[in-house]
Structures are given as structure tokens and as C-alpha cells.
Amino acid sequence: MSTSTSPSAGTQTGTQWDVQIEAAKLLGGAPELNSESPIPFFHILHRLKTTKREGWRRFGILDGESISDHMYRMGMISMFPPSGLESRLNIARCSKMALIHDMAEALVGDITPVDGVDKTEKSRRETTTMQYFTSGLLGNVSGGRIGQDIMEVWQEYEDDKTLEAHYVHDIDKIELLLQMTEYERAHNRELDLGEFSWVSSKVKLPEMKKWSAEILKEREDFWGDKEHHSYQPADAPSKGHLEYYGNGTQDDSGHA
């Protein structure tokens, strides 16, 4: 089975978004359900490598990071817990969570506040897609054990009630801040992405706030005396941004 072009949040206009309709757009059609082989699922993961993070595209970065790029660095970051967190975390679970948390975007696409899809509908699409992956495609692989584990880890991230989930949500924001500064450096202070810096205010864990502050200091040093936007407490994000950049049910994580 081959994969088609990247999914778009704006597809299926005028109808309720349906995971089966989206899967049918894959080259070769929708993969076989209830297979004992994980190969059809592996093919779908290709979309995570080719689907770009949409937030950057609004600033003209058309060949920017993919969803997989974002999740890979998150996975690596998760292996370096700050002092004070290491003994309290299940690092292996955190790394797994980082590699799973945006998996639904392989079919759903990277939905942003400008796409006209509300938080409830976004959640429905992602939950339906994860059920399709873990039950429909992986339900008979290794007795369904791996699919069930993927779904449980994804739901833990969405619920954001455990320390591991808090940690990975913070890593999501840290990765965004890193990428923000790296694109600015690549454009030699000709591209101001300071709109995204407000995400730093939503980092929860004190140990992770230190990393956020370090990244923002690097950014200020880079910009120097050249005019640029930096987050100020008075810069309240819009309701739409809070809905989409939310920590699961907490509505305060970062997302490009």
C-alpha cells in the first residue's frame, strides 16, 4: 500500500469528517482492516513524515518541519529530564508518549485555529482516528496488545493528569520554542516568529520553566537591539489559540 499526499484539515467540506473517507484517499485505497500484519499501519506513518506543521506555513515557511520531525525531537528531549524530575518519571513511557501524541494527524492533518474546526470536532476526529489505527488496523497484531498500549498512552497524554503527561506537554512547548528560534536564525532576523513566544507562559513544571527561560534568553540575545516581538503577560492569546494550543483538557499547550 502506498500513501497519498498529506491530509488537509479543510477536506470533506460540508460533510461530517469521516476517518474511512480519509483513509480511502490513500493511494491504493483504504488499508485492509483486521490484518495480522502491521505493514498497512507502517505505510500510513509515512504521512507523518510528509505532512508539514501548518503554523509555520502561515509565515511563508513552506518546506519546514514535518509532524515526524517534531515528534522525533520531542522523543529525544524526553530522555533528558531536568534534575529533580528524573527519579519521578517513567522515561520510557514519556518517550513513547512523545512519539505517539500527534499520530492521529497522519489522517486528520495538522489542524490550526484558522481552519474553522472547533475543539470538540478536532477531538472527535483525533479520537476516531486513533481508534481506527489501534483497533481497526492493529487489533489483530500481536493479539491487539500493542494497539491497546498505543491507545492508552495517547489517551493519557490527552487527559494530562499524570506527571508523565505534564512533562511531555511541556516538551511539546519546548520543542516549539526551539524551532521558533531556529527559523528566526535561519532567516537572519528577517522573520519575527515572536507570536509563538507566548507558549512559554504555559509551561507547567518548574524544572521545565528553566529551559523555556533559557531558550527565550538566547532569542533576546540573538535579536539584540533590532525591533522584534516578545511575549508580555498582557499579550493574552485569543480564545481560538487557547482552544487549539490546549494541554488536553487544560487548554494551554503549544502547537505550531
Q: What is the DSSP string of the chain?
A: ----SPP-TT-STTS---HHHHHHTSTTSSPPTT-S-SHHHHHHHHHHHHPBPHHHHTTT-TT--BHHHHHHHHHHHTTSPPTTTGGGS-HHHHHHHHHHTTTTHHHH----GGG---HHHHHHHHHHHHHIIIIIITTTGGGGHHHHHHHHHHHHHHHT-SHHHHHHHHHHHHHHHHHHHHHHHHTTTS---GGGGGGGGG--SHHHHHHHHHHHHHHHHHHTTS------TT-PPPHHHHHHT--GGG------
Phi/psi of residue 173, each to 5°?
-70, -40
Which is nearest to 75 in space by CA: 189, 167, 193, 188? 167
Structure pTM? 0.88
- pLDDT of 52: 94
User: Which tens digit of pLDDT belongs to each residue from 28-71?
Assistant: 889 999 999 999 999 999 999 999 999 999 899 999 999 999 99
Please report which confidence band the pLDDT of residue 235 belongs to, taking 50, 70 and 90 as the band edges: low
- pLDDT of 2: 38
- pLDDT of 231: 84
Least reliable range by pLDDT among 94-98, 175-179, 227-231:
227-231
C-alpha cell at 219: 532569542
User: Given 3-state DSSP classes, what are the helix, strand and coil percentages for the chain, each rounded to the nearest 5?
Assistant: 60, 0, 40
The residue that leads in pLDDT, 203 or 248, is 203
Do residues 153 and 240 lie in contact, with contact meaning Cβ atoms separated by under 8 Å?
no
- pLDDT of 232: 81
Q: What average pLDDT score do residues 210-238 get?
A: 88
Give percent of the chain above pLDDT 90.
76
Look at residue 4 and tell me whether its pLDDT is greater than 80.
Answer: no
Look at residue 172 and tell me whether its pLDDT is greater than 70.
Answer: yes
Look at residue 204 and tell me whether its pLDDT is greater than 70.
Answer: yes
User: Which tens digit of pLDDT belongs to each residue from 91-122?
Assistant: 999 999 999 999 999 999 998 877 888 889 99
Look at residue 5 and tell me whether its pLDDT is greater than 70.
Answer: no
Q: What is the DSSP letter of 52?
A: B
User: Which tens digit of pLDDT belongs to each residue from 9-34?
Assistant: 544 544 689 999 999 998 788 999 99
Q: What average pLDDT score do residues 75-89 get?
A: 96
Do residues 211 and 113 lie in contact, with contact meaning Cβ atoms separated by under 8 Å?
no
